[in-house]
Amino acid sequence: MAAKVQIGPEDTKRLKQCLAVERDQLKIEINEELAKESQSGYSQIIGVVKDRGDESVADLYSDLNVANIERHVTRLKAIENALFNKTEETYGICEDCALPIDKQRLEVDPAVSRCLDCQTLYESTPTAKDVTPSL
């Protein structure tokens, strides 16, 4: 196995720059998707809901194209977390075990907040999403 490489201050700057660009693009995409939804989908759903009585708009709405928007919003949150909650010192450090995240992993996705081991553990724990991560 290749030796793990840590990022340096220059990498942090560069990767955060990438995140800032991706963030701007995502915001535009989300706005476009929301506009599209409200034009085509949403008004139709309102009609359907009226016909069907008490059913939640949210339930019907979530069956449509919202999954795509949700995915983008989740991504945006991860990016903003990396951009605004991490300093030069804490960027690239795993939120769970506090060890440096492998440089290669950050190059693939600069928004990751966990090392590979912790991410694997996190994803394999069903209740993980309900637990507030400890700092």
Residues lying near Zn ion in the complex (CB under 5 A) are found at: 94, 96-97, 115, 118
Q: Which residues make Cβ contacts (< 8 Å) with residue 29, sequence separation at least 6?
A: 72
CA–CA distance, 29 with 74 (Å, rounded to integer): 13
Specify the residue, 60 or 115, whose C-beta has the smaller distance to Zn ion.
Answer: 115
CA–CA distance, 83 with 76 (Å, rounded to integer): 10
Specify the residue, 20 or 98, whose C-beta has the smaller distance to Zn ion.
Answer: 98
CB of 99 to Zn ion, least distance (A): 5
Kindly report the length of the chain. Answer: 135
CB of 135 to Zn ion, least distance (A): 14
The pair of three-digit structure tokens given for residue 10, joined into one six-digit string: 């220059």
CB of 96 to Zn ion, least distance (A): 5
CB of 10 to Zn ion, least distance (A): 23
Specify the residue, 79 or 118, whose C-beta has the smaller distance to Zn ion.
Answer: 118
Report yes or no: 36 and 68 within 8 Å, Cβ to Cβ. no
Q: Furthest-apart CA pair in the chain: how many Å?
A: 62
Specify the residue, 29 or 96, whose C-beta has the smaller distance to Zn ion.
Answer: 96
Report yes or no: 38 and 22 within 8 Å, Cβ to Cβ. no
